[in-house]
Structure 1
């Protein structure tokens, strides 16, 4: 069996003087996509930031490729792990291409290779036509796709770092339906190339369609974990969100779809 890229063992996290994630655990192998779902305040974003090393565990452990996350030198870790946060504050008038190239900072791959990778990620996110546009003049959805291209450029090539992990916190929140599909399909292509992915998604149906595994959190604790079919049930949605839903099966993907009301 292939060794996992990411191991989270009995992880507890504290912020603001209180425990916000308690005894959460999972294992993620190359090419797997884990979607984390749950209501606001469930600890989803806190978990994501702990996985990149922004928050030290209060208890438990996070291991990347068999080594405790804290044991990785910052540059080596940055070559392997990329995070798209919910919000990316950037107020300098960099061009779109310059913003995306920031993702190549940890690498020593050379300007020729970096330009090629920037071009490929711009195309993948459908923003090649914006490459010379000032970032500050973009719409919210366009900025989101630029930031996604930036983090994709950071872990684009296996030859740069080997095992790679992509962390996404609400990657499609500002996007229209067409670009939501484009982004999630691109994420699926990265997974097919061996990138391990952890995403936080509010759209449960979208998460169920594109993720291999799901982790449902409420009040920082695991309510359910497993395949989308195992996690996304009407009973679990009631438990997570305190609202009545109906869960049906998508006729094409055969994945769960949550209907409200």
Structure 2
């Protein structure tokens, strides 16, 4: 496995675009810290975002994984391009001639997906831990390391999403078209969800839960309505939030199921093709 992963790392190392995108991705992850610097001081109105509790343990694990998940498109571009380049540069055919099996080829890509996901989770963990130790009102060990479920959900979400991108790269073979299809599929899920809630609201939550991208989005729900200030404002308006913000076990299983389908689908497509 290390041999297969090393082959992919060498390819990434020689790609200038990939290096720039990887650097940009982790730079933007680091920029989450800049949220703490957001301040408004207009006369009697004083607002400091970090003082609203977004960096309090354990809420920070939820908030930062939710924000970081929006940046995954950077690595998605790398994965799609990585596959497309195998076709355009004919390195896939050369790898197979040199003795790499199609199963090993897909495995090498999946190992890269796992590596990207693990490094991303570790990076978010370190950034969140540092920000929390600086700004959190709660620094007890038990509180700091509670709600780590969001890091697990973040990892599963990344692996599922990158596996989908890998499948699209194998299916379409052109990075621009594959990314275009990804956007088209997101639009399709959005429209389908809207129609289901309009025509069959009772069953819509159960059906849409199994949509690939929607199932990934369900892993880490929006954290904004968990904030005390938002809850207080809602209570004053007579509203109450009853959402379950936990990472649901069934959502994890659904995304893992889609991951298996995408990886097997990638292998099945490659196996059928005459390269």
TM-score by length of 1: 0.24
Q: Report which of the two has the higher share of helix.
A: 2
Q: Report which of the two has the higher share of strand.
A: 1
